[in-house]
Amino acid sequence: MSFESIRGQDHGVEVLKRALGRNRLHHAYLFAGPLGVGKERTARAFASALLCVQPTADKLACNVCHACRRLAEGQHPDFHLVERLEKNDGGTERFIKIAQIRALQRSLSFKAYEGERRVVLILEPEHMTESTSNALLKTLEEPGQQTHFILVSAGVHRLLPTIISRCQRVRFGPLKSEHIIHLLQQSGVHDLDLMETVARLSEGSVGRALMMLEEDIVPLRGQILAALDADKNQPLSEALDLAEDLAKPAQRKRLKQAFHILRTWYRDLLVVKMGGERRQLLNIDEHARLTNRADGLSAKVIQERLKRTGEAEVAIWERMANTRLVLESLFVFLAGRVPMELSQ
Protein backbone atom coordinates (compact mmCIF):
# COMPACT_ATOMS: atom_id res chain seq x y z
CA MET A 1 0.00 0.00 0.00
CA SER A 2 1.40 3.39 -0.97
CA PHE A 3 0.33 7.02 -0.76
CA GLU A 4 0.28 7.15 -4.56
CA SER A 5 -2.95 5.12 -4.53
CA ILE A 6 -4.76 7.77 -2.47
CA ARG A 7 -6.86 10.20 -4.49
CA GLY A 8 -8.36 13.51 -3.43
CA GLN A 9 -6.68 13.76 -0.01
CA ASP A 10 -3.55 15.68 -0.93
CA HIS A 11 -3.41 17.76 2.26
CA GLY A 12 -3.60 14.83 4.67
CA VAL A 13 -1.14 12.77 2.66
CA GLU A 14 1.33 15.67 2.54
CA VAL A 15 1.13 16.13 6.33
CA LEU A 16 2.05 12.47 6.85
CA LYS A 17 4.80 12.45 4.22
CA ARG A 18 6.37 15.50 5.83
CA ALA A 19 6.28 13.88 9.28
CA LEU A 20 7.93 10.74 7.89
CA GLY A 21 10.58 12.65 5.95
CA ARG A 22 11.56 14.74 8.95
CA ASN A 23 11.19 11.83 11.38
CA ARG A 24 8.97 14.00 13.54
CA LEU A 25 6.28 11.47 14.32
CA HIS A 26 3.52 11.77 16.87
CA HIS A 27 2.68 8.70 18.91
CA ALA A 28 -1.05 8.95 18.07
CA TYR A 29 -2.92 10.21 15.03
CA LEU A 30 -6.64 10.79 14.57
CA PHE A 31 -7.77 10.53 10.95
CA ALA A 32 -11.07 12.42 10.98
CA GLY A 33 -13.57 12.81 8.15
CA PRO A 34 -16.65 11.36 6.44
CA LEU A 35 -17.09 7.67 5.76
CA GLY A 36 -15.58 6.24 2.62
CA VAL A 37 -13.18 9.03 1.66
CA GLY A 38 -9.89 7.14 2.01
CA LYS A 39 -9.04 7.40 5.72
CA GLU A 40 -8.41 3.69 6.25
CA ARG A 41 -6.52 3.36 2.97
CA THR A 42 -4.29 6.28 3.98
CA ALA A 43 -3.81 4.78 7.44
CA ARG A 44 -2.60 1.52 5.94
CA ALA A 45 -0.22 3.38 3.62
CA PHE A 46 1.12 5.29 6.65
CA ALA A 47 1.49 2.05 8.61
CA SER A 48 3.38 0.52 5.70
CA ALA A 49 5.83 3.44 5.70
CA LEU A 50 6.28 3.17 9.48
CA LEU A 51 7.01 -0.57 9.39
CA CYS A 52 9.04 -0.74 6.18
CA VAL A 53 12.61 -1.98 6.75
CA GLN A 54 13.96 -0.63 3.45
CA PRO A 55 12.29 2.80 3.15
CA THR A 56 12.96 5.17 0.27
CA ALA A 57 15.07 8.30 0.64
CA ASP A 58 11.87 10.15 1.62
CA LYS A 59 11.14 7.54 4.31
CA LEU A 60 8.22 6.08 2.38
CA ALA A 61 7.40 2.39 2.05
CA CYS A 62 9.36 0.43 -0.54
CA ASN A 63 6.43 -2.03 -0.98
CA VAL A 64 8.84 -4.89 -1.77
CA CYS A 65 10.63 -5.76 1.50
CA HIS A 66 9.40 -8.63 3.66
CA ALA A 67 7.79 -6.20 6.13
CA CYS A 68 5.76 -4.48 3.41
CA ARG A 69 4.72 -7.83 1.93
CA ARG A 70 3.68 -9.27 5.29
CA LEU A 71 1.66 -6.16 6.10
CA ALA A 72 -0.09 -6.33 2.72
CA GLU A 73 -0.93 -9.98 3.44
CA GLY A 74 -2.28 -9.11 6.90
CA GLN A 75 0.45 -11.12 8.64
CA HIS A 76 2.79 -8.51 10.14
CA PRO A 77 3.25 -9.31 13.86
CA ASP A 78 3.82 -5.67 14.82
CA PHE A 79 0.66 -4.39 13.16
CA HIS A 80 -2.39 -4.54 15.41
CA LEU A 81 -5.90 -3.98 14.06
CA VAL A 82 -8.76 -3.16 16.43
CA GLU A 83 -12.27 -3.01 14.99
CA ARG A 84 -15.80 -4.09 15.80
CA LEU A 85 -16.09 -7.87 15.61
CA GLU A 86 -18.37 -9.80 13.31
CA LYS A 87 -21.33 -11.60 14.86
CA ASN A 88 -22.42 -15.14 14.06
CA ASP A 89 -25.36 -13.85 12.01
CA GLY A 90 -23.02 -11.94 9.69
CA GLY A 91 -23.67 -8.57 11.29
CA THR A 92 -21.25 -6.44 13.26
CA GLU A 93 -21.06 -5.88 16.99
CA ARG A 94 -22.38 -2.52 18.11
CA PHE A 95 -19.24 -1.67 20.09
CA ILE A 96 -15.54 -2.45 20.25
CA LYS A 97 -15.23 -4.58 23.36
CA ILE A 98 -13.06 -3.74 26.36
CA ALA A 99 -11.59 -7.25 26.11
CA GLN A 100 -10.11 -6.25 22.73
CA ILE A 101 -8.34 -3.26 24.29
CA ARG A 102 -7.04 -5.38 27.15
CA ALA A 103 -5.74 -7.97 24.68
CA LEU A 104 -4.02 -5.13 22.81
CA GLN A 105 -2.44 -3.89 26.04
CA ARG A 106 -1.04 -7.36 26.72
CA SER A 107 0.42 -7.57 23.22
CA LEU A 108 2.03 -4.15 23.55
CA SER A 109 3.65 -5.10 26.84
CA PHE A 110 6.13 -7.23 24.88
CA LYS A 111 8.89 -6.00 22.60
CA ALA A 112 8.33 -5.60 18.89
CA TYR A 113 8.85 -8.82 16.94
CA GLU A 114 10.48 -7.19 13.93
CA GLY A 115 12.23 -3.87 13.54
CA GLU A 116 11.68 -1.19 16.14
CA ARG A 117 8.19 0.14 15.53
CA ARG A 118 4.70 -1.12 16.19
CA VAL A 119 1.52 0.27 14.68
CA VAL A 120 -2.00 0.06 16.11
CA LEU A 121 -4.87 0.83 13.73
CA ILE A 122 -8.22 1.41 15.44
CA LEU A 123 -11.24 1.64 13.14
CA GLU A 124 -14.38 3.45 14.31
CA PRO A 125 -13.17 4.28 17.84
CA GLU A 126 -16.40 6.23 18.27
CA HIS A 127 -18.06 2.83 18.70
CA MET A 128 -16.69 2.29 22.20
CA THR A 129 -18.38 2.40 25.58
CA GLU A 130 -17.04 4.80 28.18
CA SER A 131 -15.18 2.03 30.01
CA THR A 132 -13.55 0.84 26.78
CA SER A 133 -12.64 4.42 25.89
CA ASN A 134 -11.02 4.91 29.27
CA ALA A 135 -9.01 1.72 28.84
CA LEU A 136 -7.77 2.99 25.47
CA LEU A 137 -7.01 6.38 26.99
CA LYS A 138 -4.70 4.78 29.52
CA THR A 139 -2.77 3.13 26.67
CA LEU A 140 -2.54 6.42 24.77
CA GLU A 141 -1.27 8.17 27.89
CA GLU A 142 1.47 5.58 28.42
CA PRO A 143 2.48 4.47 24.92
CA GLY A 144 5.30 2.03 24.52
CA GLN A 145 8.48 3.13 22.84
CA GLN A 146 8.15 3.43 19.05
CA THR A 147 4.45 2.51 19.20
CA HIS A 148 2.20 4.53 16.92
CA PHE A 149 -1.60 4.64 17.10
CA ILE A 150 -3.83 5.57 14.17
CA LEU A 151 -7.48 6.16 15.02
CA VAL A 152 -9.81 6.32 12.01
CA SER A 153 -13.11 8.02 12.79
CA ALA A 154 -16.16 9.43 11.02
CA GLY A 155 -17.69 10.44 14.36
CA VAL A 156 -15.07 12.43 16.23
CA HIS A 157 -17.78 14.23 18.23
CA ARG A 158 -18.51 10.91 19.96
CA LEU A 159 -14.94 10.40 21.19
CA LEU A 160 -13.80 11.37 24.66
CA PRO A 161 -12.21 14.84 24.59
CA THR A 162 -9.24 13.37 26.44
CA ILE A 163 -8.66 10.85 23.62
CA ILE A 164 -8.86 13.60 21.01
CA SER A 165 -6.37 15.72 22.94
CA ARG A 166 -3.81 12.90 22.92
CA CYS A 167 -3.85 12.66 19.12
CA GLN A 168 -2.64 14.75 16.24
CA ARG A 169 -5.67 15.25 14.02
CA VAL A 170 -5.38 14.76 10.27
CA ARG A 171 -8.49 15.99 8.46
CA PHE A 172 -10.05 14.26 5.47
CA GLY A 173 -12.69 15.95 3.34
CA PRO A 174 -15.33 14.74 0.88
CA LEU A 175 -13.99 13.63 -2.49
CA LYS A 176 -14.78 15.55 -5.65
CA SER A 177 -17.17 13.88 -8.09
CA GLU A 178 -14.41 13.38 -10.66
CA HIS A 179 -12.34 11.41 -8.14
CA ILE A 180 -15.31 9.20 -7.31
CA ILE A 181 -16.10 8.60 -10.98
CA HIS A 182 -12.45 7.67 -11.63
CA LEU A 183 -12.46 5.19 -8.73
CA LEU A 184 -15.78 3.72 -9.88
CA GLN A 185 -14.33 3.24 -13.36
CA GLN A 186 -11.36 1.44 -11.81
CA SER A 187 -13.79 -0.89 -10.04
CA GLY A 188 -15.35 -1.85 -13.38
CA VAL A 189 -18.35 0.49 -13.68
CA HIS A 190 -18.92 1.86 -17.21
CA ASP A 191 -22.33 3.57 -17.16
CA LEU A 192 -21.35 7.26 -17.09
CA ASP A 193 -24.85 8.57 -16.29
CA LEU A 194 -25.15 6.15 -13.39
CA MET A 195 -21.68 7.05 -12.10
CA GLU A 196 -22.47 10.77 -12.23
CA THR A 197 -25.74 10.26 -10.35
CA VAL A 198 -24.15 8.08 -7.70
CA ALA A 199 -21.14 10.39 -7.34
CA ARG A 200 -23.42 13.30 -6.46
CA LEU A 201 -25.67 11.26 -4.16
CA SER A 202 -22.66 9.86 -2.30
CA GLU A 203 -21.78 13.33 -0.97
CA GLY A 204 -18.09 12.81 -1.59
CA SER A 205 -17.79 9.24 -0.29
CA VAL A 206 -16.53 6.58 -2.69
CA GLY A 207 -17.32 3.94 -0.09
CA ARG A 208 -20.94 5.07 -0.04
CA ALA A 209 -20.97 5.27 -3.85
CA LEU A 210 -19.86 1.64 -4.14
CA MET A 211 -22.48 0.55 -1.62
CA MET A 212 -25.12 2.48 -3.55
CA LEU A 213 -24.24 0.57 -6.69
CA GLU A 214 -24.30 -2.70 -4.78
CA GLU A 215 -27.76 -1.92 -3.39
CA ASP A 216 -29.16 -0.52 -6.69
CA ILE A 217 -29.88 2.85 -5.14
CA VAL A 218 -31.47 4.47 -8.21
CA PRO A 219 -34.30 1.87 -8.48
CA LEU A 220 -34.64 2.00 -4.66
CA ARG A 221 -35.00 5.78 -4.80
CA GLY A 222 -37.73 5.43 -7.39
CA GLN A 223 -39.51 2.85 -5.26
CA ILE A 224 -39.39 5.05 -2.14
CA LEU A 225 -40.56 8.20 -3.90
CA ALA A 226 -43.39 6.36 -5.65
CA ALA A 227 -44.56 4.92 -2.33
CA LEU A 228 -44.55 8.30 -0.59
CA ASP A 229 -46.15 10.13 -3.52
CA ALA A 230 -49.17 7.83 -3.62
CA ASP A 231 -52.55 9.48 -4.19
CA LYS A 232 -54.01 10.73 -0.92
CA ASN A 233 -57.25 8.89 -1.66
CA GLN A 234 -55.47 5.56 -2.03
CA PRO A 235 -54.30 3.29 0.81
CA LEU A 236 -50.63 3.41 1.78
CA SER A 237 -50.15 -0.29 1.09
CA GLU A 238 -47.07 0.25 -1.09
CA ALA A 239 -45.33 2.33 1.58
CA LEU A 240 -46.22 -0.12 4.34
CA ASP A 241 -45.04 -3.07 2.26
CA LEU A 242 -41.76 -1.23 1.68
CA ALA A 243 -41.42 -0.60 5.42
CA GLU A 244 -41.95 -4.30 6.10
CA ASP A 245 -39.32 -5.27 3.53
CA LEU A 246 -36.70 -2.77 4.71
CA ALA A 247 -37.21 -3.86 8.33
CA LYS A 248 -35.94 -7.38 7.61
CA PRO A 249 -32.52 -8.18 9.16
CA ALA A 250 -31.13 -9.12 5.74
CA GLN A 251 -31.94 -5.64 4.43
CA ARG A 252 -29.79 -3.60 6.87
CA LYS A 253 -27.48 -2.22 4.18
CA ARG A 254 -30.45 -1.36 2.00
CA LEU A 255 -32.12 0.35 4.95
CA LYS A 256 -29.09 2.59 5.41
CA GLN A 257 -29.33 3.55 1.76
CA ALA A 258 -33.05 4.26 2.15
CA PHE A 259 -32.34 6.75 4.92
CA HIS A 260 -29.64 8.37 2.82
CA ILE A 261 -32.12 8.70 -0.04
CA LEU A 262 -34.67 10.37 2.23
CA ARG A 263 -32.13 12.77 3.75
CA THR A 264 -30.76 13.89 0.40
CA TRP A 265 -34.25 14.16 -1.09
CA TYR A 266 -35.62 16.48 1.60
CA ARG A 267 -32.37 18.39 1.65
CA ASP A 268 -32.76 19.00 -2.09
CA LEU A 269 -36.42 19.96 -1.67
CA LEU A 270 -35.32 22.60 0.81
CA VAL A 271 -32.66 23.87 -1.61
CA VAL A 272 -35.29 24.25 -4.34
CA LYS A 273 -37.80 25.83 -1.96
CA MET A 274 -35.26 28.42 -0.83
CA GLY A 275 -34.41 29.34 -4.42
CA GLY A 276 -31.11 27.46 -4.67
CA GLU A 277 -29.40 26.73 -7.96
CA ARG A 278 -29.71 23.45 -9.88
CA ARG A 279 -25.99 22.74 -9.51
CA GLN A 280 -26.43 22.61 -5.72
CA LEU A 281 -28.69 19.57 -5.92
CA LEU A 282 -27.54 16.06 -5.07
CA ASN A 283 -30.48 14.49 -6.92
CA ILE A 284 -29.76 16.68 -9.92
CA ASP A 285 -31.23 14.12 -12.32
CA GLU A 286 -34.59 14.58 -10.56
CA HIS A 287 -34.63 18.38 -10.83
CA ALA A 288 -38.06 18.56 -12.50
CA ARG A 289 -39.66 16.28 -9.93
CA LEU A 290 -38.08 18.21 -7.07
CA THR A 291 -39.39 21.49 -8.44
CA ASN A 292 -42.88 20.05 -8.77
CA ARG A 293 -42.90 18.61 -5.24
CA ALA A 294 -41.42 21.76 -3.66
CA ASP A 295 -44.27 23.82 -5.11
CA GLY A 296 -46.75 21.88 -3.00
CA LEU A 297 -44.86 21.98 0.30
CA SER A 298 -43.91 24.75 2.68
CA ALA A 299 -40.34 25.11 3.94
CA LYS A 300 -41.64 24.30 7.44
CA VAL A 301 -43.10 20.99 6.30
CA ILE A 302 -39.92 20.03 4.44
CA GLN A 303 -37.77 20.86 7.47
CA GLU A 304 -40.05 18.81 9.72
CA ARG A 305 -39.87 15.81 7.39
CA LEU A 306 -36.09 16.06 7.32
CA LYS A 307 -36.05 16.26 11.10
CA ARG A 308 -38.35 13.24 11.48
CA THR A 309 -36.19 11.22 9.12
CA GLY A 310 -33.15 11.92 11.30
CA GLU A 311 -35.04 11.02 14.47
CA ALA A 312 -36.19 7.73 12.96
CA GLU A 313 -32.62 6.91 11.97
CA VAL A 314 -31.40 7.53 15.51
CA ALA A 315 -34.27 5.46 16.95
CA ILE A 316 -33.34 2.46 14.81
CA TRP A 317 -29.54 2.55 14.87
CA GLU A 318 -28.84 3.94 18.34
CA ARG A 319 -31.91 3.25 20.47
CA MET A 320 -32.60 -0.17 18.95
CA ALA A 321 -36.31 0.62 18.49
CA ASN A 322 -38.61 -1.72 16.56
CA THR A 323 -37.51 -1.08 12.99
CA ARG A 324 -40.80 -1.93 11.29
CA LEU A 325 -42.90 0.25 13.61
CA VAL A 326 -40.50 3.18 13.25
CA LEU A 327 -40.51 2.91 9.45
CA GLU A 328 -44.28 2.57 9.19
CA SER A 329 -44.78 5.63 11.38
CA LEU A 330 -42.18 7.59 9.40
CA PHE A 331 -43.60 6.68 5.99
CA VAL A 332 -47.15 7.60 7.07
CA PHE A 333 -45.85 10.98 8.20
CA LEU A 334 -43.70 11.61 5.12
CA ALA A 335 -46.62 10.72 2.86
CA GLY A 336 -48.57 13.57 4.46
CA ARG A 337 -51.23 11.31 5.97
CA VAL A 338 -50.75 12.80 9.45
CA PRO A 339 -51.24 16.56 9.87
CA MET A 340 -48.03 18.05 11.23
CA GLU A 341 -49.77 19.67 14.19
CA LEU A 342 -51.26 16.31 15.24
CA SER A 343 -47.90 14.53 15.09
CA GLN A 344 -46.10 16.74 17.58
pLDDT beneath 50: ranges in the chain: 340-344
pLDDT of res. 40:
97
Q: Taking the model in full, what pTM does it have? A: 0.81
Q: Where in the chain is the domain with CATH 3.40.50.300?
A: 3-171
What secondary structure does DSSP assign to 187-247, as a single string? TT---HHHHHHHHHHTTT-HHHHHHHHHTTHHHHHHHHHHHHT--TTS--HHHHHHHHHHT
Residue 82 DSSP code: E
Q: What are phi and psi of 66, to 5 degrees?
A: -65, -35
pLDDT of res. 231:
66
pLDDT of res. 67:
95
Q: Where in the chain is the domain with CATH 1.20.272?
A: 215-342
Pick the CATH number of 3-171 from 3.40.50.1820, 3.40.50.300, 3.40.140.10, 3.10.130.10: 3.40.50.300
pLDDT of res. 180:
94
Of 302, 328, 304, 303, residue with least CA distance to 315 = 328
Of 67, 83, 85, residue with least CA distance to 75 = 67
Pick the CATH number of 215-342 from 3.30.1490, 3.30.450, 1.20.272, 1.10.3470: 1.20.272
